[in-house]
Structure 1
Amino acid sequence: MNRNRIASRLFAATFGVLGAAVVGASAQAASIPESPDPIILAINEWTGQHVTTHIAGEILTRMGYKVEYVTASYTPQFAAIQAGDISAALEIWEGTGSGEIFDKAVASGQAEDLGDLGLKEHQSFWYPLYVKEMCPGLPDWHALNKCAELFATPETSPKGRLVDYPLEWEGHNQDRLDALGINFVAVPAGSEGAIVTEIKSAAARKAPILAMFWTPHWLLQEVPGEFVDLPAYDARCYTDASWGTNPDKTYDCDWNRGWIKKLAWAGLKDKWPAAHNMLLHLTIDNDTQIKLIHEIDAEGKPVEEATKAWVDANEAVWKPWIQ
């Protein structure tokens, strides 16, 4: 066989492999969306979750998918995901007590753990810094009993008032207060916005306030404060009354500073594989979320506008998620 014929065959073989690869890639790109059905994303009760979800939805839309958002209560959404009625919920906080529900959903085989979102959280009892001068001994939790009447309202007196999470967030804070012997009443707020309003109003008047709050959140940049030092979290604290400072009650410890994960319907990866791949790689950091929450809550920018602008300006961040 002469050299020209060998070269010709090698060229043909190489061109055939490369051509197949190009055609395969084009076919894959052209197949998005793999199904015309909408990807349904859960919207929960706080702005940070809206930010995460709308960033994901905007990217999926640009990939060619139809995306729908559905308002979902936090705990019931797990059953909806397992049933396939919701495609994904993208900000599940272990520290809210969701770890066990999350694990059960994944163990059922009907939901998939899409991994860590990237946020680093801290949530617990919180007060503005000026309160420390009014209640000496803070941030030690023992100081709260000495100052309980300082935080009292006509409805709670002589006990202090803790501005608590909304009821459906299932914070168990009255259990925590009782177990630790803290002379306060947990009074649930109606929403995230109601807690923010209470804190801002108190700060403007330099009035004492103790609230259940969390980071990442822009408010903690505008109103400097501290979290109360409660006894350190241990998993046994929530289930074993004999563990901890109170031998008769559970919840005698701080909140768990745990993971924040993404959860999807198990059928997502087969029905929309490219979308599944993007959501696996979706990552949000605290600085990004805090900035966008501030734009939405404090500056009044619609969530769709704020998140679209972020996606426009950050292709270098999210393009690798879809490749």
Structure 2
Amino acid sequence: MPTRTTKPSSAIALCLASALAASATQAAADAAPESDRPIRIAINEWTGQHVTATILGKVYQSMGYEVEYVTAGAIPQFTALVEGEITVQPEIWSNLVGDAWPNALASGAMVNLGSLGLNNFEGWAYPKYMEETCPGLPDLAALVACKDQIATAETFPKGRILAYPADWGTRTIDAIAALGLPVQGIAAGSEGAMVAEIRSAFAQQRPLVLMFWSPHWVHAEFDLGWIEITPPFAAECLTDPAWGPNPDATGDCAFEQAAVDKGAWSGMSETWPAAFGVLERFALDGTDQSAMVFEIDRRGRPLEEVVDEWLAANPETWKAWLPEAG
């Protein structure tokens, strides 16, 4: 798996590193680093996760740890985490990883350190201007009635819903089947491809429905609505075919909102106990993450520069993660 090791690369980064180091108390200095082995942090396919991973990595570096970032797919990463080849994954979206995450926990080789705190939401999004040509939106029944508007040559006579990239799971395709909809889920190539579709649709004022999420910077620039699916999610929807409107299927209800958790190789607590404690306390607000992603993806600024600015502006937040805070 590709790796990268970051080091301060600018005057801003050097000043920030000094400030971070100065803020660590003697207790933190005594506790870390407990091992000269690098802490290896997983990097997934979307910018928000890059932000989360880099914030955590820079705090670890300020404590004296060597940090490496390992590029890994949302599902394949768990093989490396279970084997200890990757140490930490600070942003695990449960809906993207199928049984890989539960199986890793059940094996005892990984531990769940709780919610990241993003205040996230996922569902089928659409440009709000579609409400003029498809009356009744955001109701799902209205979308079904307007399926020809979102059909393409690839899907006709079915409508098209742009799904997550294939290695993020099959959530859209599963929901379409469970709900018995006359639409087809087509996997996007990447997060960037999804954003490009949104931008193109708004530029041309054409219909589009896609699986998407919040927090994400696109909501600050584009007016997106969410398709309303009934009944609302309940645990029985996943197990009892008689519970929802389709007596032949489970999952025929609104999307379950994903848990976004922090995970680590189980050996981390013994190898780097102070770093493990930081991960336990680590949390990131979705609004803050979205603002950083906007700076990176929309304004083209370097990831590390944006993260450095956030750390410099929010010492009260990250200081609460350090060993003395625990």
Q: TM-score range, shorter-chain basis?
A: 0.7 to 0.9
Q: Does 2:172 correspond to 1:144?
A: no
Q: Distance in 2 between matches of 1:53 and 1:289?
A: 11
Q: Aligned AA for 1:293?
A: V
Match of 2:223 in 1: 224
Match of 2:307 in 1: 307
Unaligned runs of 5+ in 2: 1-24
Shift of 1:196: 0.4
Q: Is the 8 A contact 2:120 2:214 kept in 1?
A: yes
Shift of 1:254: 2.1
Q: Is the 8 A contact 1:40 1:88 kept in 2?
A: yes
Name the stretch that deviates more: 250-259 or 57-66: 250-259
What is the SS of the residue equivalent to 2:140?
A: coil
Match of 1:7 in 2: none
Match of 1:57 in 2: 57
Match of 1:44 in 2: 44
Match of 1:210 in 2: 209
Q: Is the 8 A contact 2:108 2:266 kept in 1?
A: yes
Q: Distance in 2 between matches of 1:91 and 1:236?
A: 27
Name the stretch that deviates more: 188-197 or 104-113: 104-113
Q: Is the 8 A contact 2:178 2:246 kept in 1?
A: yes
Q: Tell me the number of residue pairs that the alignment of Structure 1 and Structure 2 aligns.
A: 298
Q: Distance in 2 between matches of 1:244 and 1:75?
A: 29
Shift of 1:111: 1.0
For residues 91-130 of structure 1, the C-alpha deviation after alignment (integer angstroms, 9 at most, x for no partner) is 11234465x5433322322111111111111111110110
Match of 1:9 in 2: none
Q: Distance in 1 between matches of 2:291 and 2:27?
A: 39
For residues 9-60 of structure 1, the C-alpha deviation after alignment (integer angstroms, 9 at most, x for no partner) is xxxxxxxxxxxxxxxx858624521100100000111111111000000110
Name the stretch that deviates more: 234-243 or 278-287: 234-243
Q: Aligned AA for 2:103?
A: K
Q: Distance in 2 between matches of 1:117 and 1:172?
A: 22
Q: Aligned AA for 2:127?
A: P
Q: Normalising to structure 2: TM-score of the pair?
A: 0.87
Q: Which of structure 1's runs of 4+ aligned residues deviate more than 4 A?
A: 25-28
Q: Distance in 2 between matches of 1:227 and 1:28?
A: 45
Provide the identity percentage.
44
**CA RMSD for the aligned pairs?**
1.7
Q: Distance in 2 between matches of 1:160 and 1:38?
A: 48
Q: Distance in 1 between matches of 2:89 and 2:128?
A: 35
Unaligned runs of 5+ in 1: 1-24
Q: Normalising to structure 1: TM-score of the pair?
A: 0.87
Residues 76 and 168 of structure 1: CA distance in aligned 2, closer, same or farther (over 3 Å)? same
Higher Rg: 1
Shift of 1:239: 4.2
